[in-house]
Amino acid sequence: MKLTSKLLQLGAAALFAFATPLAAEDWKPSGPLTLQIGFGAGGSTDTMGRVLANVIEENTGWNIVVENKPGAGGVAMFTGLSQMPPRGNIIGMGVSIPVLVQLVQRGDQLPFDVDSFDYLGTIAKAELALIATGDAPFDDLEGMIAYSKSQDGMPVATMAPPQVLMMKQTMAASDATFDLVTADGGAEVIKLILGGQVLAGFASGEHFPYLESGDMKVIAGANQTRLSYAPNAKTFIESGVNSYVDPIFFFAMTKGTDPAAVEAISAQIDAAMTSPKVVEIVQNSVKGSPINMGPAGTLKMMQDGLENAKVLFAK
């Protein structure tokens, strides 16, 4: 009896071992999936997320509903995601830097940390620019600082906490004054600039058509290195402000989600990266190619990024 029992146990274990990857491979959502985007409609995060969702629908037949959940650079959306039961039907899309900076600045007040999610992958790395209208009375950050001093201040649009911190560091380094206006995303930044409510603001791709038309110009690059599409524009660091951001667009689900769901969805995100539609929208949005770090790589990116954010933004 003992031998029979042992053989049965071994047989069950073998069947379970074979069944696990098959369950992941065969997993399908029982209803619609929801992709929650932590920024407003019309911005680069929103457009990339919607195209990716559309491609996954085409590839799988799944129904994916896209919702915009703007607030605090994606922190509001990830707060809600972290507190949901792990049902396996809600995907969050955000940008790394705003989340990491909030964790550094007020991590004790947030209901989540870097390890509160099951990560699915990434889609792109953004190049962030400080932009202004084409006829603005300055062409670089030093000129903008001088103009602000001559006017006793000027309005600048920001769409996430890291940009607020960068402008505050700019004020501290230069004694200039900037009135910071909060926007829900890059599309709103563009509207504020074109509407004359602000003279400058941050964008991560929404401004490309306006650069080509001459209606806007790059004032400075906010990444660690110069912008690939505007190599003559100096970075904040080169302009005397010791600050930069390297935003990465990523996907996550509530911690404890069914591993089969995580594996199946992350596999479909990866498969969508080769779609001409995704390649084109990423190129249009960030002037680069799709980048998928995968579940493990995305977790490591967030963990390493948190340490960098502590050094760069903890004040």
- Give residue 309's pLDDT band: very low, low, confident or very high (50, 70, 90): confident
Determine the pLDDT at residue 311.
Answer: 73
Instruction: Please give the Cα distance from 245 to 127 (Å, whole number).
Output: 9
Q: Which domains does the chain have, with CATH numbers?
A: 9-126+247-313 (3.40.190.150), 129-221 (3.40.190.10)
Higher per-residue confidence, 98 vs 156: 156
Contact by Cβ (8 Å): 243, 9: no
Ramachandran class of 56: left when φ > 0, alpha when ψ lies in -120 to 50, beta otherwise: alpha
Per-residue pLDDT band at 293 (split at 50, 70, 90)? very high
Tokens encoding 50: 């919607």
For 109-144, the pLDDT digits (tens) are 999 999 999 999 999 998 999 999 999 999 999 999
Q: Tell me the H-state helices in 108-253.
A: 141-151, 161-174, 186-194, 208-213
**What pLDDT score does 81 carry?**
98
Cut 0.85: pTM above it: no
Residue 231 clears pLDDT 60, i.e. is over it? yes
Chain segment 9-64, per-residue pLDDT in tens = 544 444 444 444 445 678 999 999 999 999 999 988 999 999 999 999 999 999 99
